[in-house]
Chains A and B, each alone.
Chain A
Amino acid sequence: MQIVEEPFGSGIVVRPIGRLDSTTAPAAEQAIREAMTRSGHRLLLDMGDLDYVSSAGLRVVLAAAKQSNAASGRFLVCDLKPQVRQVFELSGFTRIISIVATRAEAEL
């Protein structure tokens, strides 16, 4: 899986490309954990190029949210495609993760 990372506001935006499932989740989790630390726990996860997220992918999102929370940082996700929104809604992640529609609306 390709993961693009760039500075964003006072932190970092991370944009994984493709499918976030059990085969790609371990690498994505490590990349996001390291970016989170480097960014001073201010991270935007841009999901606009993710066509598919399974529960293994949600585990990565949960780990990032907990890491940021523990450091009193800021963690946002943006640009959820329909299947991604569906699993966020089913799992109740829409209630515990800060979601914005597009990158332009995210403030870090």
Chain B
Amino acid sequence: MGAERTARIRAAGEEIRSLLDGIEAEGRAAGVAEALLSDLRLCLDELLVNVVNHGAPAPEAEITVHYRLEPDAVAAEIVDAGPAFDPLSLPDPDVDAPLDARVPGGLGIYFVRRLMDEVVYERRDAFNRLRLAKRAVADPATI
């Protein structure tokens, strides 16, 4: 089992990218499957941007990210002190709608739902906690 790491960033867009670059580099060093790492990066990006845009009370506010990187599994938890908000309560966007009927929004959370095996929201001790996890799909060649 890989050790759990913790990172703290200010609730500002430019801090998200450097955090994700760091997690990606650590993941590569730990031998995490590229596809898993790519999915984790996208999902963390979508959720953190969501917290910054809608949840966090101020740019000085802190967001905490706990994460665990293993060759065949990744997990993370995002903790913020913003107003209670469950992003999973949003309806899925209509991905079958024609161009004219498309409205921006909702795709980020939809990606998280589709790409992760587990996504759990919890409001506890005045913090939003969003937990996500995914295991690598077993390679048929190794079974």
Binding site for B on A (CB under 8 A): 19, 21-23, 52, 54-56, 58-59, 62-63, 65-66, 69, 83, 86-87, 90-92, 95-97
Quick one: which of A56, A63, A92 contacts B49, CB cutoff 8 A?
A56
Can you show 19 pairs from A to B with CB atoms below 8 A apart? A19-B17, A22-B13, A23-B17, A52-B42, A54-B46, A54-B49, A54-B108, A55-B46, A59-B104, A62-B102, A66-B99, A90-B95, A90-B107, A91-B93, A91-B95, A91-B107, A92-B95, A92-B96, A96-B98
Binding site for A on B (CB under 8 A): 13-14, 16-17, 38, 41-42, 45-46, 49, 53, 93, 95-100, 102, 104, 107-108, 110-111, 114-115
Q: In the bound complex, do residue A55 and residue B111 qualify as a contact, i.e. CB atoms below 8 Å apart? A: yes
Q: In the bound complex, do residue A21 and residue B104 qualify as a contact, i.e. CB atoms below 8 Å apart? A: no
B98 — which chain A residues lie within 8 A by C-beta? 96
B32 CB, nearest partner CB in chain A, Å: 15
Quick one: which of B14, B100, B110 contacts A90, CB cutoff 8 A?
B110
Closest to B52 in A: A22
B38 — which chain A residues lie within 8 A by C-beta? 83, 86
Q: Is the contact region of chain B dominated by helix, strand, or loop, or is it mixed? A: helix
Bound CA–CA A24/B95 (angstroms) = 24
B115 — which chain A residues lie within 8 A by C-beta? 90
Q: In the bound complex, do residue B102 and residue A90 qualify as a contact, i.e. CB atoms below 8 Å apart? A: no
Bound CA–CA A62/B102 (angstroms) = 8
Most buried by B among A52, A54, A83, A87: A54
Per CB-CB distance, the 4 closest pairs between chain A and chain B, nearest first, are A92-B95, A55-B108, A55-B107, A96-B99
Closest to A24 in B: B17
Bound CA–CA A95/B41 (angstroms) = 25
Closest to B45 in A: A54
Bound CA–CA A91/B108 (angstroms) = 9
Q: In the bound complex, do residue B99 and residue A58 qualify as a contact, i.e. CB atoms below 8 Å apart? A: no
Closest to A66 in B: B99
